[in-house]
Structure 1
């Protein structure tokens, strides 16, 4: 496993130590790894959503009315 040294303000260090003291994390390193993992998951979800938005925008306009879309959705997911 790679090692990384990070400088943070005392208030953030105290916060991380407090989170470890609560018992959910075994160490501040464990806490930081979890934060990075969650940030990575969030970035992946945002990229996936952006790709869906881009695909929708590039697909063009539909001739369907809102009513048509609602009826299709009701029939597809009864």
Structure 2
């Protein structure tokens, strides 16, 4: 995978935090830590988008005449 160089600026507090993560042994350098943050952010955004779509699907659907208990019982029967 091709890489691109970026120049970013951190506060002293942020820099100290990054260094503490590296010293903790989870990361070998600043770049590795930042790349991991980006991967986690991408995963979180994917989950959030999925949840947003699920909520919208629910909002767009009709109101069910079934009770919550009826729905639970139907799901239990499906699994048997």
Aligned residues between the structures: 78
> Unaligned stretches of 5+ in structure 1?
none
TM-score of the aligned structures, taking structure 2 as reference length: 0.89
Corresponding position of 2:10: 8
Alpha-carbon offset, residue 10 of structure 1: 0.6
TM-score of the aligned structures, taking structure 1 as reference length: 0.91
Give distance in 2, aligned partners of 1:20 and 1:48: 32
Listed as ranges, the matches of 1:1-78 within 5 Å are 1-78=3-80
Aligned to 2:63, what secondary structure does the other structure show?
Answer: coil
> Unaligned stretches of 5+ in structure 2?
none
Give distance in 1, aligned partners of 2:62 and 2:29: 51
